[in-house]
Structures are given as C-alpha cells and as structure tokens.
Amino acid sequence: MAAGTASAQSLEWRYGGRVSWVNTSTSSEELGDTDNALKLHSGYGFEFDATLMFSDRFGVELSAGASAHRLCVSGGDWGEIDAGRMWIIPLTAIAQYHHPVYGPWDPYVGLGISWAIPLYKVSSDLSNAGVESLDFEGGAGFAAQLGVNYQMDHRWYANIDVRYLGTSLDARVRTDEEDFPTVTLDAKPLVVSLGFGYKF
C-alpha cells in the first residue's frame, strides 16, 4: 500500500494554453487541365494541452488546437480567387523526455503522432466562379517537438514550444461542369507557440 501511494504521488498533471503561429504555406497539384492550384497560407491559432508526468523526466502530452488560414485558387484559367478561410484542428499525442537543469528551466523533446481535421465552407467568390463544392479530408502524420518550460513559482510556468506535424490534406473540387481528381495540400506545418501552464 505504501508503494502504491508513493507511485500515485509521483504522477503530476500539467495543463496549459498557447497562442501559435502555424506555417503551412503550400500549393496543391494542378486542378485538372486548368493550370490552377489551391494555395494555403500560414495562419495563427491557439492550443490547449494536458501533460501527465510519470516522473521528473518522462511524460505524455495530449493537445488540441485550432488555427485559421487563408485559402485561394491561383493562376491558370480561373485567375486569382479568394477561397475564404479554412480552420485546421490538430489533435496530437506526444511522448516527452524532460532534462531538468539547474534553476527554473525545464527543456524537453518529444515524438508522437498528429491528426489534422479541416473545417471549410465554399466562399461566395468560388461559388461565383462555378465551384459547387470543395471538400477536404485530413490525415495522420508524425509529430516532433522541442520546447522549454520556465518555472515562475511552485505551480505556474511559462512555455515556448516548437513542433513539426507531418500531416497533409486531400482536396476534391467539383464544378458545375466536372469533378476534378483529388489533389494534396502538403501542409506539414511548423507550429511555434508561446503560453502558460499550471501544475497539479
């Protein structure tokens, strides 16, 4: 019983929130024979995370975020069209290794997996150009993380976090004349975040 109590007391929950810059600047393959392509721009967002620390060195972080990105159709027969705003919701699970150093600094690295969920509604500009639907499908990918916590007091800490999410988005465009083959937006975002957390 004493061993079980000691083990339970060694577990520590950390909850945090971050604001993020999400670098997703990428273009798709050509849409059919139109010479047009989808282009996704970088954007800003936020993220919430929960980390279970099994010791002062090893933990698992679960996070969910959302970022807004400008989408457009560029070049070719259709010209430049503002396709509106798309939201990307990444869900990530990462195993972390922390390396405590002298003082309040707590650097860490992590490896895991991520799943991207896209949310999008066809813009009026696209509809006027004859696009009936633009459907996106997310997918899973490798995730890598590098960051550092700065302990401000016994409970509160500041956080700087950089992560790579190896996720891509598949897109299918249908116009009033034809269905185009599926194209890929090879997003693979680099996410740079600043935030705060609280230990329990």
DSSP for the chain reads: -HHHHHHHHH-EEEEEEEEEEEE--EE----TTS--EEEE--EEEEEEEEEEESSSSEEEEEEEEEEEEEEEEESTTT--EEEEEEEEEEEEEEEEEE---SSSEEEEEEEEEEEEEEE----HHHHHTTEEEEEEE--EEEEEEEEEEEE-SSSEEEEEEEEEE---EEEEEEESS-BPPPEEE----EEEEEEEEEE-
Confidence at residue 9, expressed as pLDDT on a 0 to 100 scale: 57
The pLDDT tens digits of the residues spanning 4-41 come to 444 455 899 999 999 999 999 999 998 888 888 999 99
pLDDT tens by residue, 104-117? 999 999 999 999 99
Q: Domain 13-199 falls in which CATH fold?
A: Porin (2.40.160)
Query: For the residues 163-178, what does the mean pLDDT come to?
Result: 91
The mean pLDDT of the chain is 91
The pLDDT of residue 160 is 98
pTM of the model: 0.88
More confident: 1 or 69: 69
Percent of all residues in the chain with a pLDDT value above 90, rounded to a whole number = 70
